[in-house]
Amino acid sequence: MAERARPGVRDDLRALEGYHSPQVDVAVRLNTNEAPEGPPTAWRAELLAELAEVDFHRYPDRAATALRAAIAEHEGVEPDQVLAANGSNEVIQSVCLAYGGAGRTAALFEPTYRMHAHIAAVAGTAVVQGGRTGDLLLDLDEVRRVLGRHEPAITFVCSPNNPTGLLEAPDTIRAVVDLAPGVVVVDEAYGQFAPWSARTLVDEDRPLVVTRTYSKTWSMAALRLGYLIGPSWLVAELEKVVLPYHLDVAQQIAGRLALRHGAEMQARVAALVEQRERLAAALAGLPVDTWPSAANFILFRPRDRSGDDVWQGLLDRSVLVRNCASWPGLEGCLRVTVGTPAENDAFLAALSEVLT
C-alpha cells in the first residue's frame, strides 16, 4: 500500500516538547517533590467506606459542591471563589483557556515551573519570558518592563518558586498584581511549607488567583486534584471551559475527606520543614551552593563538579534527584526533594561520597 502522508499537527505545537521527569526504579526517589509518605490510614478507611456507597451508574456532582464547600471552609473563602480540577495543572489550563488563547500573551519569569509556559502554549497563548535578579528572585523593574511592553492577559508567579524554592515577599506579589494588566496566577503548590501566603490578597476586586494542590502536602499525587481560589466572577468564567464532570466521584470524596485531617498534615509539614533545615545545614558543609528554600525541596549546585556528573553519581548509588543542570539560568544545578529522615540520610551519604 502506498504510504499515506501523516496529518500535520498545529504549526505552533511542532516545536513543543512533552513533560519529562524520568520515572526510574531506584531505592531513594527524591525527584518530584511528592510527600514521602501516603495519606493517613484513617483517611483510607473513610474513603473506602464512602466509595462503597457510590451510585456508580450516575454522573458525579458536576459542580463538586461538597468538595468546594470543604475547600472554601479550609481556605476561609466562599464556595463560589473555588475552582477544583484534575491537579493544579488543569486549574492552570482552565485559566489559559479562558483568559489566554489566540492573540493573547502570558508572561512569566525564568527560571520557574516549566508547565506554566507549556500549558499556556498548548492553549494557543503566546508566552513571553522575563528574567530575574542574580539571586533568582523577581526583579520588579524587569516585571514592569515585560508587563508594560507585552500587556499580558495572564501573568504567572510561582511562590515558593519551583525549582529554586525561593519565596517572594508580600510587597512583591502586591506590586505584581498592581502592575499586571490581566489575571495574575500565583502558583502555591508549596504554599503550606512557607511562612506566608498570597491567599490573604484574594478578594473580589483583584484579578488574582492562587493555585494549590493535593499532590504535595496532602500526599495525594496519585489522585490528581488541585484548586484555585479567586474572585467569584473569574471562577464563573473558568467553569465555562472545564469539561462537564471533569472531577470524578472518587476525587471529590477523597479531597473532601482529606481536609478532615488538617492537624495531622500540619504536623507532617512541620516535620518536613525540620528535615529541610537539617538538609540545608548538611549541604552547607559540602562543596555546593544552595538557595534558601520555603518549600519541600532544595536547589543546589556542586562547585567543582558538573551537575550531570553528580546526578549520575547519585543515580549510581540508587538516589534519584532532579537534574536542572541544562535549564536556562540554572546551569549545573540539581534539586532534591525532602524525604523521610532515612532517605535524607541516604542522599547525604551518597552526595558526600560523590563529591569527595
Ligand X SMILES: *Cc1c(COP(=O)(O)O)cnc(C)c1O
Return the residue of 47, 71, 77, 89 that touches ligand X, per CB under 6 A: 89
CB of 191 to ligand X, least distance (A): 10
Q: Which long-range contacts (CB under 8 A, 24 or more apart) does 275-279 make?
A: 275/338, 275/339, 275/340, 275/341, 275/344, 276/193, 276/338, 278/344, 279/336, 279/338, 279/344, 279/347, 279/348
Helix (H, G, I), strand (E, B) or coil at 239: helix
Q: Which is nearer to ligand X, 21 or 326 (CB)?
A: 21
**Binding flag, residue 113, ligand X (CB under 6 A):** yes
Q: Which is nearer to ligand X, 130 or 160 (CB)?
A: 160
Helix (H, G, I), strand (E, B) or coil at 106: strand
Helix (H, G, I), strand (E, B) or coil at 192: helix
**Binding flag, residue 234, ligand X (CB under 6 A):** no
**Binding flag, residue 88, ligand X (CB under 6 A):** yes
Are the beta carbons of 159 and 194 closer than 8 angstroms? yes
Q: Which is nearer to ligand X, 119 or 348 (CB)?
A: 119
Are the beta carbons of 311 and 321 closer than 8 angstroms? yes
Residue nearest to ligand X (CB): 87
Determine whether 329 is exposed, middle or buried from the number of CB atoms within 10 Å of its CB (0-12, 13-18, 19+): middle
Q: Which is nearer to ligand X, 337 or 344 (CB)?
A: 337
| CA proximity to 271, closest of 195, 191, 217 | 217
**Binding flag, residue 33, ligand X (CB under 6 A):** yes
Q: Which is nearer to ligand X, 108 or 348 (CB)?
A: 108
Residues in 136-155 at the binding interface with ligand X, rule: CB under 6 A: none
CB of 184 to ligand X, least distance (A): 15
Residue type, 79: P
Total residues interacting with ligand X, rule: CB under 6 A? 14
CB of 85 to ligand X, least distance (A): 9
CB of 223 to ligand X, least distance (A): 9
Which helix (H) or strand (E) segment holds residue 290: the answer is strand 288-290
CB of 166 to ligand X, least distance (A): 12
**Binding flag, residue 87, ligand X (CB under 6 A):** yes
> Site map for ligand X, 207-226, x if CB under 6 A?
------x-xx----x----x
CB of 113 to ligand X, least distance (A): 4
Distance of CA 339 to the CA centre of its chain: 17
Whether the ω angle into residue 328 lies within 30 degrees of 0, i.e. cis, is no
CB of 213 to ligand X, least distance (A): 3
Number of Cα atoms under 13 Å in the Cβ half of residue 263: 1
**Binding flag, residue 197, ligand X (CB under 6 A):** no
Which residues make up the interface to ligand X (CB under 6 A)? 33, 87-89, 113, 158, 162, 187, 189, 213, 215-216, 221, 226
